[in-house]
Structure 1
Amino acid sequence: MDLKDAASPDARNGSASQTVRALLGIRELILGGELTPGSRISELWVVDRLGVSRTPVRAALIRLQEEGLLEPITSGGFAVRTFSETEIGDSIELRGTLEGFAARLAAERGVAPEMLDALRECVDHIDVALEGDLTQEKFSIYVEMNARFHKLLASAARSRVAEQQIERVMNAPFASASAFVMVQSIEDGAREMLLIAQSQHRAVVEAIENREGARAEALMREHARIAHRNLRLALQNQKALARLLGGNLIRRDTV
C-alpha cells in the first residue's frame, strides 16, 4: 500500500473498524473470564487470538486502560485490573451526581417536545415490559429501554460537557446504568424493585416537563442508590455475582 492509499478514507475506516473489533474482542475476553484478574496481556497473543493486526490491538489496549479495565505494568504491556467495592461505589455515585446535574439542566433550560416524547415513549415501553410476570424477554426489554432512557437524559441537558462526562463515567467498569440490573433478575422481588426504578424514571420526566430543576436532580441522584443496592446484593450472593458480566473482577473491601 502506498502513502496515498494509506491516507484514503477507506484505509482510515478499515483501521478504525479493526480497532473497534480488537476493543470489543479484548473486553469480551476480560468480562467473560478468559483473561483473569492480574493476567498480563501480550499484544502478539491478542493478534493471534483475534486475528487483527498489531496497531489496532495496541490502540485498543490503550483505550481499555483509559476505561479502567487494564493497568500498565513496569515490565511493559498491560494487566487485567480488579475493582474494589469502594471504587465501584464511587463510580456509581459520580454517575448519579452527573445525571442529576443533567436532569436539572434539562428542566431549567427546557427540552424540545420531541425529546419529551422520546423520554415518555421509553418509559411507556418499560411499563409494558413490567406488566404481569417478569419473563426473560421482558427483562431484556427493560435493560434495553433503561439504557436508552439514561442516554436520552444525558442528551436532554443540551450540554456537550455534561453529555461527554456522563458518557465517560458510563464507560467506567460497573458504573453504567445497566451494569447491575441483571443481578436483580435472581431476586424474588425483582419486579417490585424494577417498579420502584420505573416510578423514578416517570417522576424525572414529569419534573423536567414542569421545569422543576431541583426535584429532577434529587430524583436522579436517588435513582443511583438502586445500583448501590445491587452492588451489595452481588457481593453477598455468589449466584448473583456469577450472573454479573465481569463479576470475577470485583473484590470486597478489606477492613
Structure 2
Amino acid sequence: MDDRLSETNDDTSLADDTYRLILADILSARLAGGSIVQQRRLASQHAVSRSPMRHALSRLEGEGLLVRNEKGVLCVRVVSLKDYLDSLTMRMLIEPTAAALATPHIADPELERLSMMLDAIDADLEPDPEIVWQFDDALHSCIADNSRNAFMKATIGDMRRYTTIFERQMAIVRAKPGVTEHRAILGALKARDAEDARKAMTEHLDAVRQGVLTNY
C-alpha cells in the first residue's frame, strides 16, 4: 500500500474515533448543554492531536450537536423541552413501525442477550445508570438496524440523540426506567408478533413522554 494512502486512512480512522469519543461525551452529559468547547483541552484529555479533534468538532457542528453562541464561540447545543418533545414526536411516528418491520428479522440469540441484560437490571436494586443506558441503546438500535430501512434507521438514530441528551441531563432520573415497557417490546419480538411490537413501542414512548413531562 502506498505510504501516503496509509497515512490518509490512519488520519481518517483517528478522526472517526475522536468523533465517537466526543459524541459519547455529549450523549452522556459529560459535556453538558451550553458547555464551551475547548479544542486544546479536549485534545489533551483524549490524547489526540488537534487535527483529528478539529475534524471531529467540525463534524459535530455540521450535525447540529455543537453550535456557535452569540460571540461565535463553539458550545454544546442545549436541548430544550421543545426540542425533546419534537424529537420524541418523530420517534413516535417512526419507531413503532420500525419495531413491526424488525419483528421477523431479529435473531433469537440477540433477543436472548437483550432479555438477559434487562433481567439483570430488573434484579439489581440500584443498577448502574450506565448499564441501563447501554441496554436502552442496544434495544432501540437493534430495532432500527433490523427494520432494514436505512432512512428509518438514520432518523431514529438522529432523534434518539436529542432525547438521550435531554433525559440524561434531567435532575430526576428513574433507577429502572421503562423495564415493564421494554419487557413488553421484547415479548412481542420473541413472539414474532409485529402488531404487538408496534403497540408495545407506542406505549413505551408515550410513557417516556408522560414521565418527562411529570418530572420536568
TM-score bracket, normalised by the shorter chain, equals 0.7 to 0.9
Q: Which residue of structure 2 lines up, in the alignment, with residue 231 of structure 1?
A: 212
Residue 100 of structure 1 deviates from its aligned partner by: 1.0
Residue 206 of structure 1 deviates from its aligned partner by: 4.7
Structure 2 residue 131 is the aligned partner of structure 1 residue 145: no
Secondary structure, in 3 states, of the residue corresponding to 2:148?
coil
Structure 2 contact 66–76 (Cα < 8 Å) conserved:
yes
**Cα deviation per residue 1:72-130 (whole Å; 9 max; x = unaligned)?**
357655233222111112212322332212112234xx326xx1442244124423432
Following superposition of structure 1 onto structure 2, how do residues 56-75 of structure 1 map, counting pairs within 5 Å?
A: 56-73=52-69
Aligned AA for 1:199?
A: R
Q: Which residue of structure 1 lines up, in the alignment, with residue 183 of structure 2?
A: 199
Residue 38 of structure 1 deviates from its aligned partner by: 6.3
Following superposition of structure 1 onto structure 2, how do residues 28-107 of structure 1 map, counting pairs within 5 Å?
A: 28=25, 31-32=29-30, 37=34, 39=36, 41=37, 43-44=39-40, 46-47=42-43, 50-73=46-69, 76=72, 78-107=74-103
Residue 224 of structure 1 deviates from its aligned partner by: 1.2
Give the alignment's TM-score, normalised by structure 2.
0.74
Task: State how far apart, in whole Å, the 1-side matches of 2:10 and 2:102 are.
Answer: 35
Structure 2 residue 108 is the aligned partner of structure 1 residue 111: no
**Cα deviation per residue 1:107-160 (whole Å; 9 max; x = unaligned)?**
4xx326xx14422441244234323x52335x6554433322222212222223
Identity among equivalent pairs (%): 20
Larger of the two Rg values belongs to structure: 1
Q: Which residue of structure 2 lines up, in the alignment, with residue 16 of structure 1?
A: 13
Superposed CA RMSD: 3.6
Residue 69 of structure 1 deviates from its aligned partner by: 2.6
Q: Sort the Cα spacing of 1:179 and 1:170 in 2 relative to 1 into closer, same or farther, 3 A.
A: farther
Q: Sort the Cα spacing of 1:173 and 1:64 in 2 relative to 1 into closer, same or farther, 3 A.
A: farther
Q: Sort the Cα spacing of 1:143 and 1:234 in 2 relative to 1 into closer, same or farther, 3 A.
A: same
Q: Which runs of 5+ in 2 are unaligned?
A: none
